[in-house]
Each structure stands twice: as structure tokens, then as C-alpha cells.
Amino acid sequence: MNHTQDADVIIVGAGIAGSGLACALARYNLRILLLEKRRRLGSIHRGDSLVPKNTALLAKWGILEAFIQAGAEPITHMELHHHRHGRIYRAPLLAGSSPYLVLPHAKIEKTLLEQALATGKVNLVQPAKALNLIHRDQLAIGGIRYQDEQGTHEVYAPIVVGADGHKSIIREQIGVEVDAYHYDHAYFGLEAQRPTHYENAMRVQLHPEGGVLLMPRPDRVGVGMLVAANSSNYWLKLPDAELTQILVSRAPILEGMPLYREGSHVYSLVRSHAKRYWLEGAVIIGDAAHTTNPTAGQGMAMALSDAGALAEQIGPVLAAGETTLTNALTQYGQQQWSVNQKLVRSSHRLALVYAKRGPFWHRLKTTGIKLLANPLAVSLTRPVIASFLESA
Ligand SMILES: Cc1cc2nc3c(=O)[nH]c(=O)nc-3n(C[C@H](O)[C@H](O)[C@H](O)COP(=O)(O)OP(=O)(O)OC[C@H]3O[C@@H](n4cnc5c(N)ncnc54)[C@H](O)[C@@H]3O)c2cc1C
């Protein structure tokens, strides 16, 4: 049966990947239908970093300035600190022309969505929960069924994009398997008041019982403390005084700083990568396709890079009035899968080293880092840092 096309592209999920893709596709003058099940976007801590490869993409889409207007601040250095001996490593975070910016995750999501809507090409339906894909024929997918406050609807487009996060129903419905690795550690995310002498740097505090990552915000610092997996109840219920004591023992710079625990959360961490990304008529991007340990801060970067790469493949084809996307999706799948596989693997290795706990590993890590802290070693490790920040 032939159906009228309701849009050129249907995107499920208005997180970083979905809104990013909407921004990228709007440049091709396409009609985009964006479905988001949340009533409003969230306020939890899920990574604040817009690494240079992301800001380069945002600049390409003409929306970088909006993030600066929303309060994004540049950071220039990464520092590693020993909990007793102070700073043991400091390296620049950028060399090229694209800045490394930090902005709370919720504001990144909000700004991306606002920019997508400002193009006038994106029709957002919210709250609207995608239910299931509709098959055009036995092989290909032609649309999606979703539910909103008015009832259940069917919509049709040449392509449905699953940007619906790590529990993706689109991934499940196109029958894609993922290999999942569950880490023995988790991240406890919260905020603290920003110490007056805190520099605009990403700061990792090393400690035998688990490090603490600090990210600057205008008057606060984002705190990500490494804790054991399945310890959520313990940390979320711990009284402020005890939590402060533990945090200060790991990150002495937080001495005397009030904690802000609204929106705090303990994140279970999973590494996964879909075996493939698409089936005729549907494709997955962002966390729907891969999740990484956040130690290397690559999840959002990969979500935006997927959005940019997919738009470059399908955008020109759809803009030319074609609806057969097999070649474009093949290209996208081949290129982006291997780019992502490298990042998933390298993030995994870095995370395993960072998460090693106990006095032996702590001594080994700090000794290794001290050896790397001379100017020659900093310049030699520069390409490794750049691979996380700058390569596409
Ligand atoms: C603790 C933590 C720290 C992190 N730190 C960093 C970091 O420093 N740097 C970094 O780059 N990344 C980081 N990440 C990862 C990053 O947050 C994610 O990789 C990224 O946000 C994924 O975006 P996404 O749009 O693919 O998925 P999501 O953000 O999960 O968005 C999916 C969207 O789809 C919607 N949706 C789901 N199902 C449906 C449906 N059926 N119908 C309609 N809508 C639906 C959801 O409501 C949601 O809005 C971190 C993650 C965690 C957990």
C-alpha cells in the first residue's frame, strides 16, 4: 500500500543525537518529524563536555554561538591531582581552532532542541511515545506508530531514525543485537559550590578508593565520584555531613563547599555496541547504537558525530527527491561503525585503568602519571588526548 509521506525523516528521541540530527538535516531543507516521549527535557548530570570535535560540528551547523549565549564556558586544561600530594599532571586540552566548552547537560539538550526548532523545518510532537515500526513490505520499514495525548497515530517517511537511547525500541525492532559489558563500578553525579580558586580546568582527583572528576560550571562544579556498582541506595541516602567527609578526603579542594544533591544520581555503566546500525527504512544513532563508559567523555561526542555523519549521507539523497537510501545507509554504517568501535574500545581501556582501586593500583597510576608529567611526555601524550577530543 502507498502512503502519503508525512515527513522526509522521522526521528524518535529528542536527546543529543535526535536534536543534533534534526539540526544537521534541516540544513538540507528537509521536513523532519521529531517524536519525544518525555514531557520536558531532564535535569540530571550526564556529561557537560562539548569536546572540540563537537564544537567543530556545531560551528558547521551554524549554531555554536547559541551555546555560548546559553552560558557554555571554554576550558583549556586537564589536570590530575593526587589526594594528598596535589597536582601531578597538567596538559592543554586543545591546539586547533575549535574550543572545548562545558555546559550542563540539560542546557546542551535544550539549546540543541531550540536550534532545531528555530530552523522552521522540524515538527516536534511531545510528549509522544513511539510504539512500533510499520513495515512497508516484508523487508522494508515505512513508518512508525506513536501515542500522544490524543491517541495513537501512524506516520510515514522514507526513513525512521532511532535516537531513542540505550533502551532503544527501534534497535530491538530491527533485530539488532548488542554485546553488553557491565562495569563493576558506577558514577555518583552531583554538584558542589565552586571554590573561588577553581580554575577553568577539567580536574581528576585520584584516590585509592575511586577517583573524583570535577567539571567547572559558572558558580558550581559538577562532581562525578567513582563508586561500586549497585551501591545507589547507600550513596543517595548518605547524610550530607558523611558524604562531604568522603568527598573531601578524595578531593580536598571541596573542603567547606556546600553540596547540591537535587538531580543527583548513581549511574550504572555499560559498554555496548550494536552489531549493525540499519535495516531498509530504519537506522539507529547515539546511545541507541552504542554506550561507553563516561570516563573518556565520548558518549555525547559519538552521538553528535553519528548525527553529522548520517546527515551527510542521507541529506543530499533526500534533498534530491530520492527515497532509496540503501547506498547512503551502507556508507554510513561502514564508516561510522569502525570510527565508533575504536572509541568504544579506547574508552573501555581507559575506564578499566581509571577504575582500578586499592593502594597498589593507586601507587602504580600516580607513579606512571608523574613520569608522564614532564613537558616532553606531555607533548608525546598529546596525540592520545587528541584522539578523544579532536578526531572525527
Ligand atoms: C554519568 C554519565 C556521564 C556522562 N558523561 C559524558 C561526558 O562527559 N561526555 C560525553 O560525551 N558523554 C557523556 N555521557 C554520555 C552521554 O550522556 C550520552 O551518550 C548521550 O547523552 C546520548 O544521547 P542520545 O541522544 O543518544 O540518548 P539519550 O540522551 O538517552 O536520549 C534518548 C531520547 O529518546 C527519548 N525516547 C526514548 N524512547 C522513546 C520512545 N519510545 N518514543 C519517543 N522518545 C523516546 C528519550 O526520552 C530521550 O529524550 C555520560 C553519561 C552518563 C550516564
Verify that 38 and 21 share a domain, yes or no: yes
Q: Are 345 and 272 in contact, with CB atoms under 8 Å apart?
A: no
Is residue 97 included in any domain, yes or no?
no
Which ligand 1 atom sits nearest the alpha carbon of residue 299?
19
Instruction: Using pLDDT thresholds of 50, 70 and 90, give the confidence band for residue 139.
Output: low
Arithmetic mean of pLDDT, 259-267: 91
Highest mean pLDDT among 32-46, 84-98, 275-289, 374-388: 275-289
Verify that 41 and 131 share a domain, yes or no: yes
Verify that 136 and 165 share a domain, yes or no: yes
Q: How far is the CA of 289 from the centre of ligand 1 (A)?
A: 11
Verify that 207 and 313 share a domain, yes or no: no
Verify that 349 and 378 share a domain, yes or no: no
Residue 121: domain span: 9-48+104-177+275-353
Which ligand 1 atom sits nearest the alpha carbon of residue 169?
41
Q: What is the ipTM of this complex?
A: 0.95
pLDDT at 391 over 60: no
Is residue 82 included in any domain, yes or no?
no
**Closest among 355, 163, 327 to 271, alpha carbons compared:** 355
Is residue 79 included in any domain, yes or no?
no
Evaluate: CB of 49 within 6 angstroms of ligand 1. Answer: yes
Evaluate: CB of 112 within 6 angstroms of ligand 1. Answer: no
Task: Give the pLDDT of residue 279.
Answer: 93
pLDDT at 127 over 80: yes
Which ligand 1 atom sits nearest the alpha carbon of residue 128?
43
Query: pLDDT tens for residues 372-383?
Result: 767 776 676 667
Output the domain CATH number for residue 15.
3.50.50.60
Instruction: Using pLDDT thresholds of 50, 70 and 90, give the confidence band for residue 392.
Output: very low
Evaluate: CB of 301 within 6 angstroms of ligand 1. Answer: yes
* Total structural domains within the chain: 2
Q: Are 122 and 26 in contact, with CB atoms under 8 Å apart?
A: yes
Verify that 34 and 132 share a domain, yes or no: yes
Q: Are 130 and 170 in contact, with CB atoms under 8 Å apart?
A: yes
E-strand stretches of the chain: 9-12, 32-35, 49-50, 73-74, 77-82, 86-92, 101-102, 122-125, 129-135, 141-148, 151-156, 159-162, 178-193, 201-206, 212-216, 220-228, 259-274, 278-279, 282-284, 290-291
Q: Which residue has the higher pLDDT, 370 or 129?
A: 129
Query: pLDDT tens for residues 75-126?
Result: 988 898 988 888 888 888 766 788 999 998 889 999 999 999 999 999 999 9
Output the domain CATH number for residue 237.
3.30.9.10
Is residue 1 included in any domain, yes or no?
no
Residue 1's identity, in one-letter code, is M
Verify that 263 and 190 share a domain, yes or no: yes
Q: Which residue has the higher pLDDT, 133 or 356?
A: 133
Arithmetic mean of pLDDT, 301-311: 96
Verify that 265 and 230 share a domain, yes or no: yes
Verify that 204 and 286 share a domain, yes or no: no
Verify that 196 and 229 share a domain, yes or no: yes
Is residue 68 included in any domain, yes or no?
no
Of 21-30, 305-314, 317-326, 361-370, the poorest mean pLDDT is in: 361-370
Q: Are 103 and 115 in contact, with CB atoms under 8 Å apart?
A: no
Task: Give the pLDDT of residue 386.
Answer: 66
pLDDT at 217 over 90: no
Q: How far is the CA of 146 from the centre of ligand 1 (A)?
A: 20
Mutate to test the pocket of ligand 1, among 100, 300, 304, 350 (most ligand atoms within 8 A of CB): 300
Give the torsion sign (CA, 81, 82, 83, 85).
negative
Evaluate: CB of 46 within 6 angstroms of ligand 1. Answer: yes
Evaluate: CB of 333 within 6 angstroms of ligand 1. Answer: no
Query: pLDDT tens for residues 172-198?
Result: 999 998 989 999 999 999 999 999 989
Of 81-90, 170-179, 246-255, 320-329, the poorest mean pLDDT is in: 81-90
Is residue 92 included in any domain, yes or no?
no
Evaluate: CB of 299 within 6 angstroms of ligand 1. Answer: yes
Is residue 281 included in any domain, yes or no?
yes
Verify that 24 and 113 share a domain, yes or no: yes
Query: pLDDT tens for residues 196-212?
Result: 989 889 999 999 999 99
Residue 79, SS3 per DSSP: strand
Evaluate: CB of 336 within 6 angstroms of ligand 1. Answer: no
Q: How far is the CA of 284 from the centre of ligand 1 (A)?
A: 13
Is residue 169 included in any domain, yes or no?
yes
Q: How far is the CA of 44 from the centre of ligand 1 (A)?
A: 10
Q: What is the β-pairing status of strands 101-102 and 73-74?
A: antiparallel
Instruction: Using pLDDT thresholds of 50, 70 and 90, give the confidence band for residue 44.
Output: low
Verify that 346 and 197 share a domain, yes or no: no
Instruction: Using pLDDT thresholds of 50, 70 and 90, give the confidence band for residue 319.
Output: very high
Q: How far is the CA of 80 from the centre of ligand 1 (A)?
A: 27
Give the torsion sign (CA, 8, 12, 15, 18).
negative
